[in-house]
Amino acid sequence: MTAMVEIYTWSSCPFCIRAKALLDNKRVEYSEYCIDGDEEAREKMAQRANGRRSLPQIFIDDIHIGGCDDIYALERQGKLDPLLEGNAA
């Protein structure tokens, strides 16, 4: 089973681009929500992300992973692939 991956982004955000690059390099399909200037969408994202308003915010199987640094930390720890495969880390 493959995990459902969602990422909230701004189109010109370097951290968003970097996080998507990691997912792209792993050939992971994801739903991207580009919320450029949409405060209502950002508020909904913040509610899902435990109040975090920075971008990107990443969710795997509806679990809040965090931002760019967080997903790269999971990768370094060897915990990202199991999450992407739908297995708890």
The pLDDT tens digits of the residues spanning 23-59 come to 999 999 999 999 999 999 999 999 999 999 999 999 9
Tell me the residue range of the domain where 63 lies: 5-84
What is the count of structural domains for the chain?
Answer: 1
**What pLDDT band is residue 89 in, cutting at 50, 70 and 90?**
very low
Q: What pLDDT was estimated at residue 1? A: 66
How far apart CA 19 and CA 68 sit, in angstroms, is 5
Q: Enter the pTM of the model.
A: 0.94
Is 69 domain-assigned?
yes
CA–CA separation, 57 vs 68, rounded Å? 8
Does 2 have pLDDT greater than 60? yes
Q: Would 89 be classed as within a structural domain?
A: no
Cβ-based neighbour number of residue 50 at 10 Å: 9
* Sign of the CA dihedral with 20 first, then 23, 27, and 30 last: negative
Q: Enter the DSSP assignment of 2.
A: P
Domain of residue 13, CATH code: 3.40.30.10
The answer to whether 68 and 45 are in contact (CB under 8 A) is no
Write down the pLDDT at residue 87. 75
